[in-house]
Structures are given as structure tokens and as C-alpha cells.
Amino acid sequence: MNNKGFSLIEVLLSVFIITVAVLGLYNGINYSHNSIEKAKDKFIASYLAEEGIELVKNLRDSNYIASLAWNNGLTACAAGCRIDANDSALDATTPTTPLLIDANGFYSYNSGTQTIFSRKIVITSIETYKIKVSVTVYYGDEEFLLEQYLYDWK
């Protein structure tokens, strides 16, 4: 007798192998998606921290233009402050308030949809001509810290 079909064991083994392969692909895609989301959040946090440093630099430079002391308004942030691009001064009231994102993709504290990001700026006086600016961006259960020293360069 010449049988040309598959046995039940061969069919079950084939289904099992295909199922394992599909589940492996699904887990790989799911892991990749989660990794991409984490990388995206860290990328945004790094840019928000850099923006915090740049905004403090802008305040320092504005002090020079207004003929004020270079660190005017920068010395009251030992416990933490917040600032966004719409502000002209550091705000020490609630430094860990979540940032909002508006329809144009800009982060601020004024309007928009609440995000997972919050930014805390701590300024420490080191010497009469030097301050240390530490910006911590919190997102989820993670945080990103960026520090830079600013000087009285005038």
C-alpha cells in the first residue's frame, strides 16, 4: 500500500513549530516596540534637560543686557525651580509640575495636554563668578540628569 498523506503526529509537530515561530516573532516585535518607546522618552528627556540649561543661560545673558548682576534671579533655586520657554523668570513654587505639550509640539506649563515629563532646575552657587545648574527631567519611573557650570564671563 502506498500512503502519500501526513500522519497526525507530523501535522501536530508542524503546527507546534509554526506556533512557536509566530509567538517568537510576536515577542520580538513587542520587545522592539517597548525599547523604541523607552528610547523615545529618554531622547525627549535629554532635550528637555538641555532646554532647561539653555533657558537659564538665556536668563544670565538677559541680565548682562539689562546691566544687572550676572546671577540676578538665579540664586533662589537651591531647592528647585521650573521654567519654560514662555517664562521670563524661574518659578520656585512647584518645580515638579508635569509639563504640558501643545498642538504645535511645544512643552510648557501654560496650556496643552499633560505629559509624563516634569523638569526640576537646581542652581548652586559655587563661587562669586560660578554657578552649577542641574536639570533633572523625570518621566515615568526614570530620570535624566544634566549638569553644567555657568560663569560670569563679562
Cβ atoms 49, 145 nearer than 8 A: yes
CA angle 117, 121, 125 (to 5 degrees): 165
User: What residues of the chain score a pLDDT lower than 50?
Assistant: none
Q: What is the distance between the alpha carbons of residues 54 and 60, in angstroms, rounded to a whole number?
A: 10
Q: What was the pLDDT predicted at 89?
A: 83
Give the strand pairing for 130-139 and 113-127.
antiparallel
Q: What was the pLDDT predicted at 1?
A: 58
Q: What was the pLDDT predicted at 94?
A: 81
